[in-house]
Amino acid sequence: MNKKQKLRYAILKEVYENNTPLSEKDFHVEEEEFDEAVRFLTRENYLMGVMYADNRPHLNKIGPELTEKGERYLDEHSALSKTYKGLKEVREWFKL
């Protein structure tokens, strides 16, 4: 799994666990990488309720939720939950 896919998984996992607000700083990625991942998750119907300001997605406490498709994605990739330890270790996890 590449970094882009891992970032998408990590965002879904953190939203699922109600760990919002989230930003690129939490994942140690560039702003554009984070924004594109959130746009993808929204566009592909994994995530709903994302707020936008200044044409940028914002994952704040009000709004973002996993769709049924997003929950299935986490279930289908449950093997990743064994290696993903959360935001504190996300930078190292991307290197795996």
Q: Which residue has the higher pLDDT, 78 or 41?
A: 41
pLDDT band at 46 (very low <50, low <70, confident <90, very high): very high
47-94: pLDDT as tens digits: 999 988 888 898 887 879 999 999 999 999 988 888 998 888 998 888
Give the angle subtended at the CA of 79 by the CAs of 19 and 77, to the nearest 5°. Answer: 70
DSSP letters for 53-67: ETTEEEB-SSS-EE-
Residue 71 has phi, psi (to 5 degrees) of -65, -40
Closest to 38 measured CA to CA, from 6, 16, 7: 7
Do 20 and 12 form a contact (C-beta atoms < 8 A)?
Answer: no
| pLDDT for residue 60 | 84
Average pLDDT over all residues of the chain:
91
| pLDDT for residue 72 | 96
> What are the chain's domains?
3-85 (1.10.10.10)
